[in-house]
A and B are shown apart, each in its own frame.
Chain A
Amino acid sequence: MIGQMLLRLFYQASIGDQSYRFLFKKPPPGEAVSIDCETTGLNIAKDDIITIAAVRIKGDRILTSEAFEVAVRPEARIAPDSMKIHHLREADVEQEKPIRKILRDFLYFVGSRPLVGYYLEFDIKMLDKHILPFIQIGLPNNRIEVSELYYERKYGNAPPGTAIDLRFTSILDDLGLPNLGQHNALNDALMTAEMYVILRDMRARGVRVSRERTRPMHDMAMGA
């Protein structure tokens, strides 16, 4: 947390393009943005972004009606392995908008709201590769990692030696969320937003994610 604060201060001091000072404004209360990027591979130095998706969260609403989704022209070739994961061919992304314009739209969409993601660090590093040369700073927004929220709700009080499973699909299963089809940036961002609103509320109410394999049904008492 302190690291994040210091980074923000540093960014605030070193921002190149002053028109992006809005990134440091106080975020609108209760809002956040769930983001996800599909990339050509998992190597930050060599690989690049194919699509960026973002969905705003306002209180208990997920604003899917105004979601952000753009395909980017990749500067690195798509690694064959990665193609298997997200079914995007190079031809699909070749015709897309230049990255500068996309980043501007993205930054305006996100504003100063906290970012929500699953292994968010990877997505931010990918985005920062382009944002740094553009406005001389990386994304200064606060970050909310859903796998951490989930870990805390599920394993926070677990006895030592408990096997820990933070896979995306495990979280979906545990929270009873339908899998919309992964490896599509918008679907991933949307499912992450769903995880976030549920986990956030469970934390507020002090309710834990059960570690039982099958969830007990609390209204069996009403039985036939």
Chain B
Amino acid sequence: MHGFDALNPPFDRLTHAETEGLRGAVDIGYFAPGSVIVERGGSSEFLYVIIKGAVAEKVGEETQAMLGAKDTFDSEAVVHGSASASFVAEEETLCYLLPRASILELVQKNQAFAAFFYSELSRRLDAFAEHRNPSGLESVLRLRVKEARCQEAHFIDGIRTIEEAGHAMRERNSITLFVRDEGRIGIVTWTDLGEAAILKRLPLETPVREISHFDVVSVKPDDFLFEALIAMTRHKKRRIAVRSGNVYSGVLQDIDILELFAGNSQLIPGRIDRAKTVADLVPCASDIQAQVQRLHEQGIKVEVIAEITSDLNRNLISKVFELTVPPSIKENGCLFVMGSEARAEQTVRTDQDNGLLLAAPVPEADLLKFRQAFTESLEACGFPPCPGNVMVRNPVWSQPLDSFLRQLKSWIITGGGDSAMNLGIFCDSVAIAGQSDLLLRAKTTFMEMMRGEKAHLAHFANFIDQFASSDIGAFANLMVSVGARSDAVHIKKVGTFPIVHGARTLAIEKGIFETRTVDRINALAGTRIFNAEFAQNLISALHVFMELRLRSQLKARRLGNMEGESIVHMNELSTADRDILRNAIRVVREFREIVRHRFNLGYF
């Protein structure tokens, strides 16, 4: 049959013969506005793919989502014989009708296609993730030499000694030097020095030109990396010179190419460690960010990317602390990060949330200087300032423990938006450097204060509905109107925030000290609040939102405009992704109900 779009996931998973077979079985159905296409709890003889129109997914009177062209429903009704919701035409709607028998047959035959029909979100998600195509080695090799991280060229005169060359390498943090010798240029490496001194037992006073290689192989900055790789292989060199005209500008190593492909997360800590000034850290910070994109392109799961990124960021923050902290604060203080950074759920940097606790008062001048220096140094490394001013720079977030505890208490008592925000952000905190027991004491006291009074916790929990109206609204608008910007879903408001906030509220209630949302959810799965299966779905939903957010952040960064970094446009998603997002939102809704019910939030 003509017109049926087989490129639309999940149908893109079918072979050509399977597609043709399906096409031959497809009819088209028309549904007038108001007609019920699939009844909740019922089975369905067809899988419907919308050609035009709008279909509301309804439970009772409540519209859960609005489906539009290319959306598919309802896999549960077709495969499991029981629709999770009713599907009602909202406009004049045309759908392809894919017969149940054909779908079931394809589910049997084709595993990748079948993944779309798994009932648990977590399984479906895993199956889909496996089929993402990483853009691999080839795209890397088509980069140019100047796009790789070449080492800067350092020069030494040929008459200098082996010993001097060794020191020069150490000082410049480089294992390769260019050797100037009577008009010619050679190369000497750390290995050459070692060989000369150890294996050949040459005296350390030997001029370096005697152990240098003058058959320098070079590439131009505009050459492709694959050309560099070919040159290395042909000449059996692990390092080649980069040369523009008559000037040697750098050294390209095989590892630099590998790094572009495989990522360099293992190398960044070393660079951070070697940094002597904040300025040295700036390239490390941008490496961490470049790494995020690279890992994502390679199809690494978002939770793994977040984990790697968070480890690296903490390394970096701790180094900034080391570089800026005066001895008085170092002895008495505890530096901690908060928010998504502390939960290890941040990938692309959005802002810095950090604080300092002191065991005892320190000289005022030291503190003033450090507050400024630390925050500004992080900013220089590319951590944007926190709009809510939750930073060491803010005296509220850098003070002695006992006065900070009084501060926490006053937030708990006053309640309200800002207080709840501050408490929420503090609830997710992790010590990075210094006296970590200070933070532990603050957190323990905080937990006790919160748990002591049911009303405090309920007020705090109530925050979960902060953006509650935005999901249905956004969804309804978005799919029906084909128009401009109305198909936007605010990922953070609709998805991430309710999960994170719900999990932290329940964690406080149960006295769970974990910081990461996933750990909290897993710990909660052991309680009677929800079971392990729901926990798994909730975790998957969180990862769906993180993945979508990451994609839109990377896109926003490419476009150089971070304004819409948390917005996902539904019509830019594939059908399968839309379907997964819909399911994730359904899990969030269920979770919100659990939290509301637990804290009797109906009364607020």
Q: Using a CB–CB distance below 8 Å, which chain A residues touch chain B?
A: 60-65, 67, 175-178, 180-181, 184, 186-187, 190, 193-194, 197-198, 201-202, 205, 214, 217, 219-220, 222-224
Contacts and interface: CB of A to CB of B under 8 A. Distances in A.
Given A64-B28, A67-B1, 18 more contacts: A60-B29, A61-B30, A64-B1, A65-B25, A65-B26, A177-B51, A177-B94, A178-B3, A178-B69, A190-B28, A197-B30, A198-B92, A201-B30, A201-B92, A214-B483, A217-B480, A220-B477, A224-B469
A197 B91 CA distance: 13
A65 B51 contact: no
Interface string B464-491: 0000011011101100111100100000
A65 B24 contact: yes
A64 B94 contact: no
A67 B92 CA distance: 23
Interface of B: 1-3, 24-33, 51-53, 63, 66, 69, 90-92, 94, 97, 469-470, 472-474, 476-477, 480-483, 486
A177 B482 CA distance: 12
A181 B3 CA distance: 8
B473 A222 contact: yes
Nearest to B63: A222
Contact of A65 (B1, B32, B69): B1
7 contacts: A60-B29, A61-B29, A175-B52, A176-B482, A190-B28, A217-B477, A217-B480
A64 B26 contact: yes
Residue with the highest number of chain B CB atoms closer than 10 Å, among A67, A205, A217: A217
Given A65-B24, A176-B482, A205-B32, A222 B476 contact: yes
Contacts of B3: 178, 180, 187, 190
Contacts of B66: 219
Contacts of A187: 2-3
A61 B29 CA distance: 5
B2 A62 contact: no
Contacts of A67: 1
B188 to A, nearest CB: 65
A64 B27 contact: yes
Contacts of A201: 30, 32, 92
B486 to A, nearest CB: 8
A197 B24 contact: no
Of the listed residues B26, B32, B482, B486, the one surrounded by the most CB atoms of chain A closer than 10 A to its CB is B32
B94 A198 contact: yes
Given A194-B94, A197-B30, A201-B92, A178 B51 contact: yes
A221 to B, nearest CB: 9
Contacts of B480: 217, 219
Contacts of B24: 65
10 smallest CB-CB distances across A and B, nearest first, come from: A224-B473, A62-B28, A197-B30, A180-B3, A222-B476, A60-B30, A64-B1, A217-B481, A176-B52, A201-B32
B28 A194 contact: yes
A193 B52 CA distance: 14
A202 B92 CA distance: 8
B483 to A, nearest CB: 7
A187 B28 CA distance: 13
A177 to B, nearest CB: 5
Contacts of B472: 222
Given A177-B52, A177-B94, A198 B30 contact: yes
Contacts of B51: 177-178, 194
A162 to B, nearest CB: 23
Contacts of A217: 477, 480-481, 483, 486
A222 B2 CA distance: 36
A180 to B, nearest CB: 4
Contact of A197 (B94, B469, B477): B94
A223 B483 CA distance: 14
B2 A223 contact: no
Given A201-B32, A219-B90, A65 B27 contact: yes
Nearest to B70: A178
A117 B546 CA distance: 50
B31 A60 contact: yes
A207 to B, nearest CB: 8
